[in-house]
Amino acid sequence: MLLGPGPSPVPARVLRALSAPLLGHLDPEFLAIMNEIQQKLRSVFLTSNQLTIPVSGTGSAGMEACFVNFVDPGDRVVICIAGVFGERMRDVAERCGAQVTAVETAWGTVIDVQQVVETVRKHKPKLAAIVHGETSTGVHQEIKSLGNYLAGTETLLLVDCVTSLGGMPVRVDDWKIDIAYSGTQKCLSAPPGLSPITVSEKAREVMRKKKKKSQSWYLDLNLVEKYWGEDRTYHHTAPVSMEYALLEALNVILEEGLEARWKRHRDNHLALARGLAHIGLQLPVAPHHRLWSLNAVSVPEGINEAGVRRQLLRNFGIEIGGGLGPLKGKIWRVGLMGHGSSRPNVLLFLAALEKTLLDHGYRFSRSGAAQAAIESQGPSDPAP
């Protein structure tokens, strides 16, 4: 049971789609599938952006595509950093030769949007990048106010939606996001291997006016968009089976409906939080900044962090994640993503964790985490 930071469980329908016999990557039947994928990705990103496609690599390839197509050496960019994926964006931007100004804050807290606005005002960067759902900390970052400000400037807004898309509201057009990327293996519930991205017209203009060719041929969107668009010019061979899986995963999402899916993620997140609180465990992120899809849980004093994870995997077949960087050994990361965000999984996890912590000698204030999660619905948070 994959309850870590991803990959997440994949529905049987999607696994079946994965194993369909292959079509040629320029076969008319496959081209129709490509069109359907683009159209349904637009529905999930809530955008009308023409350039909305899956990049042929995992989420980090999507991140890289979002820099190498826009940034020339010497360009100023602002990167917001409060975890591993913010750090990774800085590294990727620097490899493009960007002059990076970082807006940093402690891991586990949110970026102060006002500080970003002031940094943009001062440096007038080509691009400002921020993580919507920081998988390394479980923090959910507000985006809309930053989008509103940047829309009146020349700066592009680049947002990492890897862990949020399909599990929490991501409204690309409404929030005025220019460039966003995600991954298939989190709340979209397909296997890892593709990175959906979307690019606004404002950003496409910047892409077309870029001085140097993209330093990556593989991720050059000027070439890739000709294959996904009307021209159908051969670029690289699309990962055909993965595209089948993505399409079926998008079908599952749109059949459930985005609003219902978000509500399911929120309800299960709140149930998990109630159960954990009941037995005295702490969630280090402030309640209104918590990701619904990835829950950071503080490791109690004196408990062997990795030992608990090993035992959960061995005794219950449950995988959760540990902390990274400064949070290593201090938190567990519990993913309730896509198909994996279900009430049974919450109960199974809480029961297994309680038993495992008991075995590790943890003294509970009260027992019955699973019961607490299921019994009361708790006060409702404001709607997304």
Give the residue, chosen from 35, 48, 114, 237, that forms a contact with a copy of itself under the rule CB under 8 A: 237
> What does the block give as tokens for 215?
């330093």
Report CA-CA distances (Å) from 216 to 71, 83, 109: 12, 26, 33
What is the closest distance, in whole angstroms, from the C-beta atom of residue 16 to a copy of itself in the complex?
Answer: 6
Comparison of 142 and 319: residue with beta carbon closer to a copy of itself: 319
Give the residue, chosen from 96, 206, 247, 327, that forms a contact with a copy of itself under the rule CB under 8 A: 96
> What's the N-to-C CA distance of the chain in angstroms?
28
Closest CA to 184 of 40, 8, 342: 8
Q: Are 135 and 83 in contact (CB under 8 A)?
A: yes
Comparison of 9 and 167: residue with beta carbon closer to a copy of itself: 9
* 47 belongs to the binding site for a copy of itself (CB under 8 A): no
What is the closest distance, in whole angstroms, from the C-beta atom of residue 22 to a copy of itself in the complex?
Answer: 5
Report CA-CA distances (Å) from 345 to 126, 175, 352: 43, 32, 10
Give the residue, chosen from 72, 173, 319, 368, that forms a contact with a copy of itself under the rule CB under 8 A: 319
Helix (H) or strand (E) holding 197: strand 195-199
Comparison of 58 and 198: residue with beta carbon closer to a copy of itself: 58
* 251 belongs to the binding site for a copy of itself (CB under 8 A): no
Interatomic CA distance for residues 316 and 13, integer angstroms: 25
Give the residue, chosen from 125, 138, 166, 193, that forms a contact with a copy of itself under the rule CB under 8 A: 193
What is the closest distance, in whole angstroms, from the C-beta atom of residue 233 to a copy of itself in the complex?
Answer: 11
Interatomic CA distance for residues 298 and 313, integer angstroms: 19
> What does the block give as tokens for 55?
């990049």
Looking at the DSSP assignment, which residues form a beta bridge with residue 220? none
* 60 belongs to the binding site for a copy of itself (CB under 8 A): yes
The DSSP annotation for 55-107 comes to ESS-HHHHHHHHHHTTPPTT-EEEEEESSHHHHHHHHHHHHTT-EEEEEE--T
Give the residue, chosen from 172, 242, 350, 357, that forms a contact with a copy of itself under the rule CB under 8 A: 242
What is the closest distance, in whole angstroms, from the C-beta atom of residue 248 to a copy of itself in the complex?
Answer: 11
* 339 belongs to the binding site for a copy of itself (CB under 8 A): no
What is the closest distance, in whole angstroms, from the C-beta atom of residue 263 to a copy of itself in the complex?
Answer: 25
* 157 belongs to the binding site for a copy of itself (CB under 8 A): no
Of 13-21, 116-124, 169-177, 364-372, which segment contacts a copy of itself by CB under 8 A?
A: 13-21
Tabulate helix, strand, coil % of the chain (nearest 5).
45, 15, 40
CB atoms within 10 A of CB 305: 16
Of 85-93, 123-131, 255-263, 363-371, which segment contacts a copy of itself by CB under 8 A?
A: 85-93
Helix (H) or strand (E) holding 62: helix 59-68
* 7 belongs to the binding site for a copy of itself (CB under 8 A): yes
Q: Are strands 127-131 and 133-134 parallel, antiparallel or unpaired?
A: unpaired
Site residues (vs a copy of itself, CB under 8 A): 2, 4, 6-7, 9-10, 15-16, 18-22, 24-25, 27, 56-61, 63-64, 88, 91-92, 94-96, 183, 185, 191-193, 213-218, 234-242, 245, 313, 319, 324
